[in-house]
Amino acid sequence: MKPLYDKIGVGYAQRRQPDPRIARAIQQALGDAHSVLNIGAGTGSYEPSDRDVTALEPSAEMIQQRPPGSATAHQGAAENLPFADQQFDAAMAVLTVHHWSDLNAGLREMRRVAKDRVVILTFDPAADYFWLADYIPEIIALDQPIMPKMDAFQAILGETNVEAVPVPHDCSDGFLGAYWRRPEAYLNPDVRSAISTFAKLDDISGALKQLEDDLASGAWDARYGDLMQEESLDIGYRLVVANWS
């Protein structure tokens, strides 16, 4: 099957720029790891520049968008890593585990190739969804089955530490929750094109029209305007870290 991002990844790098605050949290979680494998690496977001990074990505489209000078990228899947046991100090995976065909196999492979630690940025399906789900409830139905519960990581990786990653109001990485304080962004087809969830949804033109009308009438502000005072918001993104060193 053709990887999802071969279909939707065109222009992806422009909208999915790493946010420095999220990058800092990932860097801290990697600790003193020198060699790092980035699984589901995409265009290279959040790859640390001061470490020896190897990237693995299933989509040729995404690999082609990696900037000059970025880490060497191999095409392949998390469930069958073409690397030796404990070849890397750490393995990382950023907003990708929900795309894997076999979560347990992918986690076992991460555990196999990482000598010291595994760092995963993901979304907790048990968290409260932000206001967009009020307009498009199909998001919940779509995400609940594919987003791993937090105890799924511990079952394979052993003891894990789970930390909330609040999303800044001006987040530069255009994932689904990035625009919680910029509601008009979801009306932009270019924004939606860089978010995999929208590629999987059926016709949502009615929901988008309702959002547009509510923004124009002030109805959105009446319900959610308090969010405009928040600098960041916990909307379910989590950093999962397993450390054996």
> What pLDDT sits at residue 185?
97
**pTM of the predicted protein model:** 0.90
Residue 1 confidence (pLDDT) above 50: no
CA atoms within 13 A on the CB side of 172: 11
pLDDT in tens, 78-103: 999 999 999 999 999 999 999 899 99
Tell me the C-alpha to C-alpha distance, in Å, between residue 160 and each of 7, 64, 73, 157, 192.
Answer: 34, 34, 28, 7, 33
Residue 51 confidence (pLDDT) above 90: yes
- Look up residue 117 and give its amino acid: R
pLDDT in tens, 212-225: 999 999 999 999 99
155: enclosing H helix or E strand = helix 150-157
DSSP at 91: E
Kindly report the average pLDDT of the chain as a whole number.
Answer: 92
158: enclosing H helix or E strand = none
